[in-house]
Amino acid sequence: MQKSLRDLFNNPNLFDQAIQLASGSKAAAYERLEFLGDRVLGLVVAEMLYQTYSKEKEGALAKRFVALTREETLADVAHLWRLNKLVKTTDSELKENNSVLSDVCEAVLGALYLDQGLEAVKHLMLPVWMPLMESNAQAPQDPKSACQEWAQHNFKCLPIYKTIEQMGTEHEPVFKVQVKVGKLTAFGVGHNKKEAEKEAARNLLEQHHG
């Protein structure tokens, strides 16, 4: 990007609020902006998908929507926009935390919406999200959903997830999760339980699917 994100704002203070994390017990403005940005993100992505895939049913659009708005995608965009270098916090570990970067990314979108409206947000988002959307010819499926469908079809049961171990530090935890389908098992690790469960489901499918 030729201009920094902050330079795009008529009111740079809104951008500063979006990247300022909480300090101690004091609430941070970015949390309210993230709440707004989550809705703005959803609207832009939903409209983009609706217009691009005119023949797809709601279920396929929903799968694409989840892939384009999930934490990992937003964290990747945050790195692209160098938000990990700009986040204001006394805890340096948080600057590389996917959950935090995802929230900050949404907060920036919410701040830009307040600053200049929806068209400005689209102008910022579309050059990034369109390639992400077009990279998947088929509607992507969440690993847990795919594992559930496979388990029901082949074993007439649901996957069972169990947290085996929590490692790492308080700010950078690592979870190890086990998934069982009948007598089949697999494991996954991640910085939160949801991420670990997805990896476990993905590993189980790769080991036994087909």
Q: Residue 166, SS3?
A: strand
DSSP 93: G
Q: In the annotation, is 149 catalytic?
A: no
CA 206 to chain centre: 23
On whether the CB atoms of residues 60 and 52 are closer than 8 A, the answer is no
DSSP 160: E
Q: Residue 117, SS3?
A: coil
> Which of the following is catalytic: 34, 103, 106, 115?
106
Q: Closest Cα to residue 167, out of 159, 176, 156, 180?
A: 176
Cα–Cα distance for residue pair 159/80, rounded to 1 Å: 35
> Which of the following is catalytic: 34, 38, 115, 195?
38
Starting at the earlier edge strand, list the strands of the sheet with 173-181.
160-168, 173-181, 184-190
Q: Closest Cα to residue 101, out of 119, 114, 82?
A: 82
- What helix, strand, coil percent values describe the chain, rounded to 5? 60, 15, 25
Q: In the annotation, is 16 catalytic?
A: no
Catalytic residue IDs:
38, 106
